[in-house]
Amino acid sequence: MFKRVLVANRGEIACRIIRACRKLGVETVAVYSEADRESLHVRLAGVSICIGPPDAARSYLHIPAIISAAEISDVDAIHPGYGFLSENGHFADICRGLDIAFVGPSPGAMAKLSDKAGARELAKSCGIPILPGSEGKLPDDETGLRTARGIGYPVIVKASAGGGGRGIRVAHNDAALRVAMSAARTEAEANFGDGSLYIEKFLGRPRHVEVQVLADEQGAVVHLGERDCTTQRRHQKLIEESPSPAIDSRARRAMGAAAVKLCQAAGYTNAGTVEFLFEDGEFFFMEMNTRIQVEHPVTEMVTGLDLIEEQLRLAAGEPLRWRQKDIRHSGHAMEFRINAEDPESRFAPSPGQVTLFVPPEGAGIRTDSFMYSGYRVTPYYDSLLAKLIVHAGSRADCLEKSRSALREFILEGVKTTIPFHLSMLENNAFVQSEFDIDFVDRLYG
């Protein structure tokens, strides 16, 4: 096991990684921007190093600063968390070139799967169902138009290097497609430095279901079941749950097997998530996230595994401690993202000072956060403040326990998504699990 790990992230995931390291007896080094000087992860780590100003491009995304901090503190591993540099193959390559373990997949496997158009082609070669669409990246807009006419409108335009819901547009005709390609390309270039696009057939009412995987350096791969991430707004997830109430045991087995097959084909190691669209009993590969996910705690709650601990063990070269038959699931879990956003103002950001923070407690109730009373929420980064994760014996019991926990959750001083979550728990379509990926957008516009 590693002696000292640098956590190349901030917020709740940085705190989560530090706690997992502490559990394993591993020393930690936190990096932080000037805006995060008072953040909780800075206080929790054994050593903390400022790496730049608030602008993420000059701090959390600034590879030279992070590598300098790693060398100064003599770490033997870097955990990137999610977002920022977590899926940056160049960063992973630099780490390994300096004999610093990158807690994630190899740069080669990342390259195969982080490019979404390439991952789609790999899935197709493995016999995994994909939606009709372009063959790889679009060389020009005219090819996009011919592809769309061939598969039939509506279509969805996606950035090959996309993530976080960026670089995605839907088009219902030629004119709209030209606008969509231009807008998606511009957004992708601004956010990822890569404006390449691909096109898929747009499904009308799909569910978003993803499968968690773990893979070791000896070639073993297991899946840990699925999470349903259908409750989202503008492609940003808001509520996740496991198991998915939308799929049956046959689909569950097939999706798990497909996820494992893709990872084996890519030579994948560490933790990852294979994402699918599911509609009318059929599933289609969408993309793979080559990192830990925000919503990983729901899988932890139903399996009893600590995924961050497993990431560290796998990155240290340890073999998987379980075979597929050893993975057991218990009950139902849901995660509610508590964001600094105002649902009544189209989810506008709500920075400011948290005057009181008291998370709920009780059996089967967990809060992952970096909040404390007096903390000032800045406008520089993602709006996620906390994740409320609830576990119970059944979905019905989980819904009821979630209502109680959300009502008890005190987070004052900024607007949050707690009222939105409570409204979902009173919505009959949500309660009966009769909704699709555009459900929230139809409600909130």
With vertex at residue 411, the alpha carbon angle to CA 410 and CA 415, rounded to the nearest 5 degrees, is 130
Q: Is 187 helix (H, G, I), strand (E, B) or coil?
A: helix
**What is the number of residues in the chain?**
445
Residue type, 164: G
Q: Count of alpha carbons within 13 Å of 196, Cβ hemisphere only?
A: 14
Instruction: State which H helix or E strand residue 281 sits in.
Output: none
Name the burial class of residue 428, with classes exposed (0-12), middle (13-18) and buried (19+) by CB atoms within 10 angstroms of its CB.
exposed
Domains 4-103 and 132-201 share a fold: no
3-state DSSP: the chain helix, strand, coil percent, rounded to 5?
35, 25, 35
Which residues, 6+ apart, have CB-to-CB distance to 90 below 8 Å?
63, 107
Q: Please tell me which residue in 252, 291, 313, 366 is annotated as part of the active site.
A: 291
DSSP structural state of residue 375: P
**Whole-angstrom distance, CA of residue 253 vs CA of residue 286:** 17
Q: List the structure tokens of 170.
A: 């839907």
Q: Render pLDDT for 6-42 as a digit per residue (tens, 0 to 9).
A: 999 999 999 999 999 999 999 999 999 999 999 999 9
Per the CB < 8 A criterion, the answer to whether 283 and 251 are in contact is: yes
Q: List the structure tokens of 123.
A: 């899935």
Name residue 38's beta-bridge partners.
none
Which residues, 6+ apart, have CB-to-CB distance to 175 below 8 Å?
none
**Whole-angstrom distance, CA of residue 369 vs CA of residue 388:** 9
Sequence ranges of the domains in the chain: 4-103, 132-201, 207-444
CATH superfamily, domain at 207-444: ATP-grasp fold, B domain (3.30.470.20)
Q: Render pLDDT for 287-329 as a digit per residue (tens, 0 to 9).
A: 999 999 999 999 999 999 999 999 999 999 999 999 999 999 9
Task: Indicate if the pLDDT at residue 170 is higher than 80.
Answer: yes
Q: What is the mean pLDDT of residues 185-211?
A: 92
Residue type, 374: G
Q: Render pLDDT for 346-382 as a digit per residue (tens, 0 to 9).
A: 999 999 999 999 999 999 999 999 999 999 999 999 9
Task: Indicate if the pLDDT at residue 141 is higher than 90.
Answer: yes
**Whole-angstrom distance, CA of residue 357 vs CA of residue 78:** 30
Per the CB < 8 A criterion, the answer to whether 202 and 170 are in contact is: yes
**197 to each of 116, 144, 189, how far by Cα in Å?**
9, 9, 10
* Predicted pLDDT at 190: 83
Matching residue, tokens 């206080």: 43
Task: Indicate if the pLDDT at residue 164 is higher than 80.
Answer: no
Mean pLDDT lowest among 2-11, 185-194, 275-284: 185-194
- Spatial strand order in the sheet of 221-233: 282-289, 270-279, 207-215, 221-233, 236-242, 332-339, 384-392, 365-369
Class (C level, CATH) for 132-201: alpha beta
* Predicted pLDDT at 368: 98
Q: What is the mean pLDDT of residues 87-107?
A: 96
Task: Indicate if the pLDDT at residue 89 is higher than 80.
Answer: yes
* Predicted pLDDT at 405: 98
* Predicted pLDDT at 260: 98
Active-site annotation holds for 291: yes
Domain 4-103 has CATH 3.40.50.10860: no
Matching residue, tokens 């610093």: 100
Q: What is the mean pLDDT of residues 416-420?
A: 98
Name the burial class of residue 45, with classes exposed (0-12), middle (13-18) and buried (19+) by CB atoms within 10 angstroms of its CB.
buried
Matching residue, tokens 């901090």: 69
Q: Render pLDDT for 33-61 as a digit per residue (tens, 0 to 9).
A: 999 999 999 999 999 999 999 999 999 99
The bridge status of strand 47-52 relative to strand 356-358 is unpaired
The bridge status of strand 27-33 relative to strand 47-52 is parallel
Q: Which of 239, 246, 245 is nearest to 295 (CA)?
A: 239
| Dihedral of alpha carbons 282, 284, 289, 294, sign | negative
